[in-house]
Amino acid sequence: MGQRRELVLALVAIVAISGLYTGYSNAVGVPVASGLPGHFLGIVGFTLMLMTETLYSLRKRAMRRPRGSMRAWLQFHIFTGIVGSYLVVLHSAWSFHGLAGALTLMTIVVVISGFVGRYIYTAVPRTVDGVVIEAQDLLAQLAVVRVEVTQPTRLAAMPISSSATRSQEPAAARRYRELERQLATLRWRRRMLATWHAIHIPLGMALFVMAFAHIGAAIYYATLLR
């Protein structure tokens, strides 16, 4: 499954959930949001989305004893975000009216924004652990390779054949060009990622404000007014 493992797992989960949902709907009827099955879908979906919002952020800020790689936590973040959002949509019973409908639409918008962010995130050069390669690291590598490119006599002084020396020189030149390309790409995509964060994070915060307002209203009207 490779780099798309979380997407494949999310698709498998959605297919399984859809099968159960369709079977229940055919046997009993589409579960309404105010019923027990509808509440179950909403609670599980909201819990997954809350995990999506909090756990990955906590891992990014974990300076001491971090558990798991950033790549693994990102995959978990994407998986719970997709599956949780799908459950929230099922909880709505395909009704898009009032605050609940606005919340459902906002959920869809945030998911779409998340897919865009995933593309930008994976486009930024990273280490095997998933940590962003910083510009200063690339600059340090450039400085080392620049010496090899601009001082070929250093390679020629080595006890190797001239053909091997020439092959090392083009290899160093290719490496230098590749590092320059990576540096330019890193700067451009980091700007894109910063712009995306400036949009996605407020959307996520608005989503959860609406979600808590919806939950509060549901509890008030469903229990306190009875």
Q: Note the pLDDT of residue 117.
A: 81
* pLDDT reported for residue 144: 62
Note the pLDDT of residue 83. 93
Q: Give the burial string for 141-180 (b: 16+ CB within 10 Å, else e).
A: bbeebeebbeeeeebeeeeeeeeebeebeeebeebbeebe
Contact call for residues 55 and 76 (beta carbons, < 8 A) = yes
Could you tell me the mean pLDDT of each successive run of 10 residues in the chain, 226 residues long? 77 94 91 84 90 78 67 84 91 78 85 82 57 55 59 50 59 69 71 82 86 81 61
- Establish if 128 belongs to a structural domain: yes
Instruction: Say if 25 falls within a structural domain.
Output: yes
- What's the pLDDT at 115? 83
Q: What is the pLDDT of residue 166?
A: 59
The per-residue pLDDT for 128 is: 43
With respect to residue 152, please indicate whether it lies within any of the assigned structural domains: no
Task: Output the pLDDT for position 155.
Answer: 47
**Which among 97, 93, 54 is positioned nearest to 76, based on CA atoms?**
54
Range of the domain at 69: 2-132+196-224
| Alpha carbon distance 10, 117 (integer Å) | 17
Instruction: Indicate the number of domains in the chain.
Output: 1
Report how far residue 85's alpha carbon sits from residue 112's, in angstroms, rounded to the nearest whole number. 11
Beta carbons within 10 angstroms of residue 183's beta carbon: 18
Query: Is residue 180 in a domain?
Result: no
What pLDDT is attached to residue 104? 83
